Chains A and B, each alone.
Chain A
Amino acid sequence: MDTSRSPLEATGFSRKLAATIIIVYMIVTLIPITWMVATSFKSVDSAISYPPEVFFEPSLEGYVNLFTNRSRQPKDYLDSLPPPDTWYEELVRSREMVITGPSKFLPRYSNSLIIGFGATFFSVFLGSLAAYALSRFKVPLKDDLLFFILSTRMFPPIAVAVPIFIMYRKLGLGDTHVGMIILYTVVNLSLSVWLLKGFMDEIPREYEEAAMIDGYSRMQAFFKVVLPQATTGIAATAIFCMIFSWNEYAFAVLLTQFNAQTAPPFIPTIIGEGGLDWPAIGAGTTLFLIPVMIFTVVLRKHLLRGITFGAVRK
């Protein structure tokens, strides 16, 4: 028997089992994403061919179609035009079309960025202030208040869509960035307050007390001493808030149309000739994944600690 191994360490078999499960799970979750990314690099014809093409000639048609509006023109008109200046014009011409202007994808995408990051910032900022207060001060009816905050997430947010829709129309917040940031912030706040309160509870009061004795106000102590120690919690909370605000679809469909429409309701409406333009949708979705992926990877090292935080005494 191998006695050099600690009895607490996993055996070879259970390690292999764990690896197998992880690989199977990874394949299951990655297939749709891989297919989506592959679709974004197919041509329109190849995307809808049957049987599906696993190997195909890559094309940037989807990305070009995503970013442009085009119109089909007769052959003799196309011949009368000066030769195309750019590779994407050439690609469009080869499909017997001309670019008539940029599509709405970029503005929708930047709406998503503004609203997503804005809502995340405010959720975490307001959440950490509330969490600190609930963690440190005697707040009247604190437990009831905390339960109320939690209860706002006991139903799916969309359940209150109708009152919110009416309220937003009366307040003139419909189809505005501010309106969407407020909405997503409010939905995220309960999660953010509860998560962050756990982290704040773990930070000893001595830190801010030391800072206050050293001449700082409580607010300064909060920003200089408490917040830096809550970075793990803030990162974990920010990821959760970001994922929600970034992916949110139902309210975005309901409340935004032109000005503040985000990418999720926009992408599925990309219509090509004779039906949905699957490569363009694939391209839109692929690009849509990137910010939240970068955000998560950047904050990843905090995330794991964040989720398991407090589960084990240090």
Chain B
Amino acid sequence: MAEIEIKNLHKSFGEFVAVKNSNLIIENKEFFVLLGPSGCGKTTTLRMIAGLELPTSGNIYLDKEDVGYLRASQRDIAFVFQLFALYPHMNVRNNLAFPLKMQKLSRSEVDAKVLEAAKLLRIDHLLKSKVSSLAGGDRQRVALGRALVRRPKAFLMDEPLGTLDAEFRELMCLELRKLHDDIDATTVYVTHDQQEAMSMADRIAVMNEGVVLQADSPKVIYNKPKTKFVANFIGSPGMNFIPIKEKISPSQSSIKLLDSSLNIPEQKEGTDSNENFLGVRPENLKLVSENGVKGNVFGVEYLGSRKILTIETQLGNIKIRVDSDTQVNINEQIQFDTLNNNQIIFDGSNDKALQSEFMS
């Protein structure tokens, strides 16, 4: 298995820049997820690692070997496509054996490896089936089988669960993660679905507009986002951003909000700008009976285990997560306050999070 390192990787298609000078290190045996909205460059990055696109500039190292400009066939990696790309004119066995046929193995070796992969994925009873007769989940397993049958250095997966229905997707998430652990693989997984990313990844890289904004564990990405984009993109709903009209200075530990003041974690950095943002996650706010920020209930979303309230306030619309048995009506006047002291201040000039007691 392998370590993948991306150095100053850049890709442009004519005028359009898909990936901007990105750097990443994907460690051996890591389940690494590239997450971002469509068009953010995550698939292009993956395709460059695979060798399906050549970088405009920069390098890709696979186990310290520069493979950035080699052919896909010379890289010893496997790729699982969103639409599986199973060869419809071959049965399951031949689909699985296809990557092995280039490796000059004897027939019995090929058969043994195919059977081993099929057993691992519990599709050994389907070997003689036609691909077109398989259900979505089984097709997915065949696609995975074709990827792992020759034990490549790394697995690259491009939204492999995208076409499965929701119920099945959760099951496959678990299976994929288990498979990854069982065979000690290094996996790079592309998705736009944060739930998939959070549930499977060792580390997530959030990308937007061709730039890697942050690469960290799911917990760090969620709790300590380094930019406003990451804070908003991760979590459903995303983080609340409350405009603050004051300059932040280092060691500051409270801010003015409307008429009152709010304690914040002690800041370690300041801003030049007077327009900054206070970031609070919806679950870090609570309803209070007095001394809180006043607002009107604008919307209530019932989500089973919880409710998301949208509150109209002088500070803009703010979302709060409450227990689902909390009784609130639309247009009701309510007050709310922060639950704990883990707010993040974002610099209004560049949307970056400031270092603070909490962030470090």
A217 surroundings in chain B (CB, below 8 A): 73
The docked-state distance in angstroms from the alpha carbon of A210 to that of B150 is: 14
Decide if A210 touches B81 in the complex (CB within 8 Å): yes
Q: Tell me if B78 counts as interface (CB < 8 A to partner A).
A: yes
Q: Interface-forming stretch among A15-23, A201-209, A249-257?
A: A201-209
A215 and B103 contact, CB distance less than 8 A:
yes
| Complex CA–CA separation, A210 to B81 (angstroms) | 8
| A210–B84 alpha-carbon span in the complex (Å) | 9
Q: Is B64 an interface residue (CB 8 A)?
A: no
Contact B72 A212 (CB under 8 A): yes
Whether A213 touches B79, Cβ cut-off 8 Å, given contacts A206-B85, A228-B89, is yes
Question: Is B52 at the interface (CB under 8 A from chain A)?
Answer: yes
The SS class assigned to the A binding surface is helix
Cβ of B166 < 8 Å from any Cβ of A? Answer: no
Q: By the criterion CB–CB under 8 Å, are A214 and B98 in contact?
A: yes
CB A263 to nearest CB in B, in angstroms, measures 36
**How far is A228 from B131 in the complex, measured between Cα atoms in Å?**
14
Asked whether A210 and B73 contact (CB < 8 A) given A204-B85, A215-B102, A229-B89, the answer is no
The CA-CA distance from A231 to B89 in the complex, in Å, is 10
Tell whether A207 pairs with B99 under 8 Å between CB atoms, given A213-B78, A214-B73.
no
Does A149 have its Cβ within 8 Å of any Cβ on chain B? no
**Residue B256 at the chain A interface, CB threshold 8 Å:** no
With A204-B83, A204-B85, A228-B89 as contacts: A212 and B71 at CB distance below 8 Å:
yes
Q: Does B87 have its Cβ within 8 Å of any Cβ on chain A?
A: yes
- Residues of chain B contacted by A207 (CB below 8 angstroms): 85, 87
Binary contact readout B60-91 vs A (1 if CB under 8 angstroms, 0 otherwise): 00000000000111010111011101011100
* Contact assessment for B103 and A210 in the assembled complex, using a CB-CB cutoff below 8 Å: no
A206 touches B83 (CB 8 A): yes
**A229 CA to B83 CA, complexed, in Å:** 16
Query: Is A214 touching B85 in the complex (CB atoms < 8 A)?
Result: no
Which residues in A have their C-beta under 8 angstroms from that of B102? 214-216
Contact with A along B31-52 (1 / 0, CB 8 A): 0000000000000000000111
Chain A residue numbers with a CB within 8 Å of B103 are 215
Could you say which of B81, B146, B150 contacts A206, with CB atoms under 8 Å apart?
B81
How many A-B residue contacts, CB cutoff 8 Å? 55
Number of interface residues of B (CB under 8 A): 23
Q: Is the interface of B mostly helix, strand, loop or mixed?
A: loop
**A216 partner residues in chain B, CB cutoff 8 A:** 73, 102
Tell me whether B79 and A210 are in contact (CB under 8 A): yes
Indicate the member of B71, B72, B79, B146 with the most A CB atoms within 10 Å: B72
Instruction: List, in ascending order, chain A residues with CB within 8 A of B99's CB.
Output: 214-215
Bound-state Cα–Cα, A210 to B85, Å? 7
Bound: A210/B52 CA distance, A: 9
* Distance between A219 CB and nearest chain B CB, rounded to angstroms: 12
Residues on the A chain within 8 Å of B77, using CB: 213
What separation, in Å, do the CA atoms of A206 and B139 have in the docked complex? 15
Please report the C-alpha to C-alpha distance between residue A153 and residue B78 in the assembled complex, in whole angstroms: 45
Decide: A225 near B71, CB < 8 A? Known: A210-B81, A213-B79: no
Knowing A204-B83, A206-B83, the reply to whether A213 touches B72 (Cβ < 8 A) is yes
Contacting A at CB under 8 A, from B87-109, are 87-89, 98-99, 102-103
Q: Which residues of B contact A204 (CB under 8 A)?
A: 83, 85
Question: Which chain B residue has the least Cβ–Cβ distance from A210?
Answer: B85
- What is the distance, in angstroms, from A233's C-beta to the closest C-beta of chain B? 14
How far, in angstroms, from A211 to B81 measured CA to CA in the complex? 12
Closest to A209 in B: B52
A212 to B78, CA, bound (A): 10
Q: Return chain A residues, CB-CB under 8 Å to B146.
A: 210, 214
CA distance A211 to B87 in the complex (A): 9
Q: What B residues does A209 contact at CB under 8 A? A: 50, 52, 72, 79, 81, 85
Name B87's closest neighbour in chain A (CB-CB): A225
Which of A213, A225, A231 sits near B73, CB closer than 8 Å? Answer: A213
B50 touches A211 (CB 8 A): no
Q: Which residues of B contact A231 (CB under 8 A)?
A: 89
Could you tell me the distance in whole angstroms from the C-beta of B79 to the nearest C-beta in chain A?
A: 5
Compute how far the CA of A215 lies from the CA of B152 in the bound complex, rounded to whole angstroms.
11
Give a binary string over B116-147; 1 marks a CB under 8 Å from any A CB, 0 the rest. 00000000000000000000000000000010
Complex Cα gap A214–B80 (Å): 11
Complex Cα distance, B132 from A229, in Å, reads 13
Using a CB-CB cutoff of 8 Å, which residues 129-188 of chain A contact chain B? Answer: none
CA A228 to CA B112, docked complex, whole Å: 27
Q: Which A residues are in CB contact (< 8 Å) with B82?
A: 206
Q: Who on chain A is nearest to B143 by CB? A: A210
Contacts of B51 in A (CB 8 A): 212-213
Q: Given the complex of chains A and B, what is the CA–CA distance between A63 and B89 in angstroms?
A: 44
Most buried by A among B82, B98, B146, B150: B98
What is the bound-complex CA distance between A215 and B81, given in angstroms? 16
CB distance from A198 to the nearest CB of B (A): 18
A215 surroundings in chain B (CB, below 8 A): 73, 99, 102-103
Please indicate which of the listed interface residues B75, B78, B85, B88 has the most CB atoms of chain A within 10 Å of its own CB: B85
- Nearest chain A CB to B226's CB is how many angstroms away? 33
| A210 partner residues in chain B, CB cutoff 8 A | 79, 81, 85, 87, 146
Closest Cβ of chain B: how far from A313's Cβ, in Å? Answer: 15
* Interchain Cβ contacts under 8 Å between A and B, 14 examples: A206-B82, A206-B83, A209-B52, A210-B81, A210-B85, A212-B52, A212-B71, A212-B72, A213-B52, A214-B102, A214-B146, A215-B102, A215-B103, A228-B87
Q: A207-B87, A231-B89 are in contact. List 20 more A-B contacts (CB 8 A).
A: A204-B83, A204-B85, A206-B85, A209-B50, A209-B52, A209-B81, A209-B85, A210-B85, A212-B73, A213-B72, A213-B73, A213-B75, A214-B78, A215-B73, A215-B99, A217-B73, A225-B87, A229-B87, A229-B88, A229-B89
Which 5 pairs of residues, A with B, have the shortest CB-CB distance?
A215-B102, A214-B99, A206-B85, A228-B89, A210-B85
